[in-house]
Amino acid sequence: MATGTDQVVGLGLVAVSLLVFTYYTVWVILLPFIDSQHAIHKYFLPRAYAVGIPLAAGLLLLLFVGVFITYVMLKNQKVTRKVQ
Binding site for another protein (CB under 8 A): 1-3, 6-7, 9-14, 16-18, 20-21, 24-25, 28-29, 32-33, 47, 50-51, 54-55, 58
Q: How far is the CB of 67 from another protein (least distance, A)?
A: 21
- Cα 45 to Cα 68: distance, rounded to the nearest angstrom: 32
Q: Are 72 and 66 in contact (CB under 8 A)?
A: no
Judged by beta carbon, residue 25 or residue 70, the one nearer another protein is 25
Judged by beta carbon, residue 55 or residue 73, the one nearer another protein is 55
Judged by beta carbon, residue 38 or residue 81, the one nearer another protein is 38
3-state secondary structure of 30: helix
26 Cβ partners below 8 Å, 6+ apart?
44
